[in-house]
Amino acid sequence: MILFSTPRLDAYRASILHFVGDPALDPDAVRWHEDGLLLVEEGRIRAAGDYATLLPDLPAGLPVQDLRGKIIAPGFIDTHVHYPQTDMIGSPADALLPWLQNYTFPTERAFGDAAHCQEVAGFFLEELLRNGTTTAAVYCTVHPTSVDAFFAQSVARNLRMVAGKCLMDRNAPDYLMDTAEQGIRDSEQLLQRWHGNGRQSYAITVRFAPTSTPAQMQLAGELAARYPDAYIQTHLAENADECAWVKSLFPDSRSYLDVYDQYGLLRPRALYAHCVWLDHADRARMAQAGAVATVCPTSNLFLGSGLFDFGAADAAGLPMALATDVGGGTSFSMLQTMNEAYKVARMGGSHLMGARMFYMATLGGARALQLEGTIGNFAVGCEADFIVLDPQATPLLARRSAGCATLEERLFALAMLADDRAIAATYSAGQCVHRRD
């Protein structure tokens, strides 16, 4: 006799929030169910909608977790973050380049040790989950062991992560440099080991143009051509001094972006962090190529790098998503990142709606990673990566939330006033991976 097991079905009653598009472009992009029900079957979304509508179709006797008063939303997606910089977050410096030399590079030196990598990667991932982030595009160090350790820790938690080894063969301490050829060989071996391994994906990671020779950049572009479904991640136009440095190193390139373009590194699935000091031609070229600007407001403010121009990005049709950029960024919280993004936008004359900020941290991030339909919203069949938000997490947030008259006001209050304390629980593939006491 053949026995068939019944698929596991979990039901959660709460307010349900997710998006089917960018609310700034589509007024019907928000999906909100005040009294909602989320159904998760074997780690994937079976349904999301009004409780009263879905209730009659539930199997008899199925328990429903009652989370009324809270909001269930897709897990946050951080599109640019450095796990080796966890222990040097909040380090003082007067600019980006001294900060790299005095804190970042010395900290990364220790990541040749596998045990150290495992410990830091584990803490880093727990910190992401505590802040409601279920997917991130992560920089490791130049050491292959830093990549293996990170992915091993991610697999142990069944998370969907993107990561890669930094390519660096010049303008860095000797202890952090590879060679053009060895860096690419290591990257390809890591890519073959981890890309598509369960929920893990690999990113070809040029740290930034100044720390790679033209030979390494050329080989990175060739590697990207061999693996068109791999990601590319690097830094672009973060700081004015950095831009001047790139100009001196690549005098024949029209712009910083053009350096990457010339080496075949501008395409879909390419994530460019910062994008502060771009011109109209750069933004138009990125939009044409399908590359994404990963906006890092807390680190740009912390290091005094400049203000991302949301208005110019929108005018160019440039795809963008939010990122913490820890450890230049000063918080793992995507809610705090929304807070800073709003202020940066206002300084540039733009206004970010609360709904749009939540979109950028969820479906916008999934679109940046070309993972719409896999993560980022509650479409049927998506992986059940979601968070439970508590609008009463602090006395001030509770007081302000009680006075909100519209959904936009509620989301905006969360973006301005909430932090890790508002993350009541985090779920990955339908399993609870963090619960706030």
Question: pLDDT for 294-310, tens place per residue?
Answer: 999 999 999 999 999 99
CA pair distance 378, 40, nearest whole angstrom: 10
- Is this model's pTM higher than 0.85 or not? yes
pLDDT, tens digit, 9 for 90 and up, residues 393-418: 999 999 999 999 999 999 999 999 99
Which residues in the chain come in under a pLDDT of 50? 1-4
Q: Tell me if 418 sits within 8 A of 397, measured CB to CB.
A: yes
Nearest one of 26, 6, 64 to 364, comparing CA atoms: 26
**What is the structure's pLDDT at 97?**
85
CA pair distance 314, 263, nearest whole angstrom: 26
| Angle subtended at Cα 294 by Cα 151 and Cα 336, rounded to the nearest 5 degrees | 85
**What is the structure's pLDDT at 78?**
98
Q: Is 218 helix (H, G, I), strand (E, B) or coil?
A: helix
Nearest one of 253, 254, 248, 297 to 275, comparing CA atoms: 297
Q: DSSP assignment of 81-99, as one string?
A: EEGGGGGGTT---SSHHHH
**What is the structure's pLDDT at 95?**
83
Q: Tell me if 20 sits within 8 A of 31, measured CB to CB.
A: yes
Report the 10 Å Cβ neighbour count for 3. Answer: 4
**What is the structure's pLDDT at 6?**
63
Report the 10 Å Cβ neighbour count for 387. Answer: 26
**What is the structure's pLDDT at 1?**
42
CA pair distance 220, 343, nearest whole angstrom: 36
Q: Tell me if 256 sits within 8 A of 244, measured CB to CB.
A: no
**What is the structure's pLDDT at 94?**
84
Q: Is 112 exposed, middle or buried (0-12, 13-18, 19+ CB in 10 A)?
A: middle
Q: DSSP assignment of 283-299, as one string?
A: HHHHHHHT-EEEE-HHH
Q: Is 86 exposed, middle or buried (0-12, 13-18, 19+ CB in 10 A)?
A: middle
**What is the structure's pLDDT at 5?**
54
